[in-house]
Amino acid sequence: MAATHLDVGLRCIKYLLCAVNSLFVLTGVMIISVGTTIYAVYEDFKHFLDPSYFSPATILIVVGGLVFVIAFFGCCGALKESTCMVLVFAVSLSIVLILEIAAAITAYALQDSIKGLLAKQINASMHQYSSSLEVANAVDFMQYRLQCCGSYGASDWNEIKMISPSGLPHPDSCCAWTQFIGDGRIECGRYEEGCMSRMSMIVHQSAISLATGAIAIALIQFTGILFACTLGRAIRRQKTERERRRWELRESLVRGYQPLGKNDPFATFPIVYMQSDAPEPVKSSVPS
C-alpha cells in the first residue's frame, strides 16, 4: 500500500523529534556544566554567601539530570507512536522549562541584596580573623584569589587592630608582593581594592551566565514541546485515519457479499426431478 501524506508527515515529525531529543541530551550536559561551574565558584566563597545563592545552580544540576530521562521518553514515544509517552514528554519538558525560568529569575533577583549581605559577612569575618582558624583561611583565600584587601579597602583592617605574624597591620594575604628591608622588617605592596566589589562582580557575572544559559536552553526546549504536541496530534490523526480505513474496508466487504440464492430464482426455488416407480402406460397403435 502506498504511503499517504499522513504517513510521510508523521514519519518526518518522528525523525525531527528524535533529532531534537538528541539535541536535548547536549543541552542537558550544558545545563549540568553551567550549574556545577557556578556551584563550584560559590562553594569557594561559601563562607561569605547565604545558602539561598546556591539554589539556582542546584536547580540547574537537577534539571540537567531530568533532561536525560525526558529525552528517553520522547524518543520511545516517537518511535512507538505512543500518544501517552509523547504527552508525558511534553508535560515533563514544560515542567523543566518552568524550573529553568524560575532558576534564572531567582538568580537575577538575588543580586539586589548581594551587596548588603557581602558587606555584613566580610566585616564579621574580618573581626573573627584572629579567633577562628577556619575564618582566617576563608578570608586569606578570598584575598589571595580575588587580589583584594578588606571589605572596601585595605584601610578597613585598621579598625580591627590586628598584627599579622609578619608585623603588618593586616593579613599577609593583602600583599601583592613582599620584601625584606632589614632589621626583620617587611615591606608589603598591598592590594588597595576592597573584596566586596570583586565578590559582587563574581556573583553578578555568575547570575547573568546562569540566567542567559537557562533562558537560551529553555527556548530550545520550547521548540521540543511544539514538536511533541504536533507529533501527538499527528499520531492521533493517523490512528483515527487507520480506524476509518479499517471500518470502510469492513463495510465494503459486508456490502459486497451476496448470499447464494438471493438473485437466482432457480437456486432459490430449485426444481427437483424425481423418477416414478410406476410403469408407464402402454400406448395403443390402433386408431380410435
Digit-coded pLDDT (tens) for 15-42: 777 777 777 788 788 888 888 888 888 8
The share of the chain scoring above pLDDT 70, in percent, equals 81
* Spans of all domains in the chain: 5-111+202-243, 116-197
**Phi then psi for 5, rounded to 5 degrees?**
-65, -30
State the fold for domain 116-197: Cd81 Antigen, Extracellular Domain; Chain: A (1.10.1450)
Q: How far is CA 269 from CA 12, 149, 259, 273, 275, in A?
A: 60, 117, 15, 13, 19
Q: Residue 270's pLDDT is what?
A: 52
pLDDT (average), residues 245-272: 61
pLDDT at residue 234 is higher than 50: yes
Q: How far is CA 238 from CA 46, 100, 103, 198, 265, in A?
A: 55, 34, 39, 60, 46
pLDDT (average), residues 198-204: 86
DSSP letter for 261, please: T
Residues 6 or more apart whose CB falls under 8 angstroms from that of 87 comprise 77, 228, 232
**Angle at the Cα of 54 from the Cα atoms of 52 and 60, rounded to 5 degrees:** 125
CA distance 222 to 110: 26
Predicted TM-score of the model (pTM): 0.65
Residue 149 C-alpha cell reads as 584587601
Q: Residue 1's pLDDT is what?
A: 44
Beta bridge partners of 180: 186
